[in-house]
Amino acid sequence: MMESHPCQAAVITPAGTAAIGSILVCGAAAEEILRSVFRPHSPTGVSFEPGQVFVGWMTDGNEAIDQVVIGCEGRQRYAIHGHGNPLLVESILEILVRHGAKPVSAETMIQSQIAAKESATIAVEAKTERLKAVTMEGFRLISNQIEGGLSRWAKERIGRKDTISIPEIREQCKRILADSRIAKRIIYGCRAAIIGPPNSGKSTLFNRLCGMDKSIVADTAGTTRDWVGAVWRIPSLRVELFDTAGLADDLAAVDPLQSASQQRTLEMIRAADVLIAVLDGSRPLNHFTPPTAEGQPVIVVLNKSDLPQTLIPDTLPFPFAEIIPLSARTGFGVDELSSVLRRAMEVDDFDLNRPVCVHPRQEGIIRKVSECEDPRQVVVILEQLLTDSPPL
């Protein structure tokens, strides 16, 4: 028995943000319900066998609601892919419910599959995590782990169990764990804090990157008092961008409000994966050192490149990953900043077919494999990776 209800239906795409809306329909009664509401284009009808894909109309009586593709994902499991308009997605779900399906959340549906142990574990974990992906690349990276990626890597090692070399396996596990850290940025996004001395153009750059006039810009030091957040989308990354109050020791001493502003900036710096330090290239730099955490890359933006430049990059008194001349006012250098940020986050050229862990259980197992001394034990643990049940 796959789940207690004979048919469950769940919307598996985020509402209102995608061009495509997908509904997963599972259970013993799923085929019968689909046969009564789906009108295929093919005059020869359809056989709901795993692996088959059909194009046709979702109907409500005589009315055609949406043109959809139905994929038979497995035994008693079907994915309806229609247009992403939330009203259409809602209508289809409502028709399915009227014909006997029980509406559930995507998480509930996947948990039912875990309980029924119907799918390989990596597949179930991947499908759960895929719901949280914030980029298409992240979605693909996770999907690739189901047949290829981590699954294939483990199966190949098990298939060649007599030739397993412990040093080689260790090296591969180290690589998988390192790649998994990068994969997380592609899947869940990253945080970048725009920091720098007062009046260097941080808010102007922030507004340009997020494409909105969200942060106040003024030719007065100390304009931004509290951080402002927005999203900047670049290939393979959804960057949560934070504009912060300018950092300066003398400002902190001015009044309690300024002191609180400085504290808020320090908090954002601690929470960021990467810092974008904006300096005014048209002036000499006056005592500025970004308070970075260990391993936090700093990208320096030499702003106001449309004005004559006086700041000499070689004299910067702190380490940084890269330096970019840019004009937040004209937009010059913004594409370069996007490339540099992707490099700093190591997502540039990241092969989405690489084996990576997309679940803490997988990470735990790869760690265990990397500490293993006995090739036979490696095989046993890798088999667990493919078949163990994750904690619900």
Ligand X SMILES: Nc1nc2c(ncn2[C@@H]2O[C@H](COP(=O)(O)OP(=O)(O)OP(=O)(O)O)[C@@H](O)[C@H]2O)c(=O)[nH]1
Contact yes or no for 303/327 (Cβ under 8 A): yes
Which residue type is seen at 178? A
Regarding 151 and contact with Mg ion (CB under 5 A), the answer is no
Alpha carbon distances (Å) from 1 to 10, 26, 34:
18, 12, 20
Q: Please state the closest distance from residue 281 (CB atom) to ligand X, in A.
A: 9
Binding footprint of ligand X on the chain (CB under 6 A): 196, 198-204, 217-219, 221-224, 246, 303-304, 306-307, 327-329
Toward ligand X, which CB reaches closer, 222 or 390? 222
Give just the sign of the alpha carbon dihedral 122, 240, 301, 334: positive
Which of ligand X, Mg ion, none does residue 333 bind to, with CB < 5 to 8 Å depending on kind? Answer: none
Toward ligand X, which CB reaches closer, 60 or 306? 306
Contact yes or no for 242/202 (Cβ under 8 A): no
How many other C-beta atoms are found inside a 10 Å radius of the C-beta of residue 222? 16
Q: Please state the closest distance from residue 330 (CB atom) to ligand X, in A.
A: 7
Q: Please state the closest distance from residue 276 (CB atom) to ligand X, in A.
A: 12
Q: For Mg ion, which stretch binds (CB under 5 A), given 224-232, 336-344, 345-353, 371-379?
A: 224-232
CA-nearest of 91, 78, 81 to 29 is 78
Toward Mg ion, which CB reaches closer, 224 or 236? 224
Phi, psi of 86, rounded to the nearest 5 degrees:
-55, -30
The SS3 assignment for 190 reads strand
Contact yes or no for 236/258 (Cβ under 8 A): no
DSSP-derived secondary structure letter, 233: E
Regarding 203 and contact with Mg ion (CB under 5 A), the answer is yes
Phi, psi of 31, rounded to the nearest 5 degrees:
-60, -45
DSSP-derived secondary structure letter, 287: S
Toward ligand X, which CB reaches closer, 140 or 225? 225
Toward ligand X, which CB reaches closer, 22 or 327? 327
Question: From the list 144, 224, 262, 327, which residue makes contact with Mg ion (rule: CB under 5 A)?
Answer: 224
Q: Please state the closest distance from residue 200 (CB atom) to ligand X, in A.
A: 4
Q: Please state the closest distance from residue 151 (CB atom) to ligand X, in A.
A: 48
- As a dihedral over the C-alpha atoms of residue 144, residue 147, residue 152, residue 154, rounded to 10 degrees, the angle is 100
Instruction: Give the contact letters, 183-202, x = binds to Mg ion (CB under 5 A), - = no.
Output: -------------------x
Regarding 258 and contact with Mg ion (CB under 5 A), the answer is no
Q: How far is Cα 75 from Cα 255, in angstroms, rounded to an integer?
A: 67
Toward ligand X, which CB reaches closer, 40 or 325? 325
Regarding 262 and contact with Mg ion (CB under 5 A), the answer is no
Q: Please state the closest distance from residue 304 (CB atom) to ligand X, in A.
A: 4
Contact residues for Mg ion, defined by CB under 5 A: 202-203, 223-224
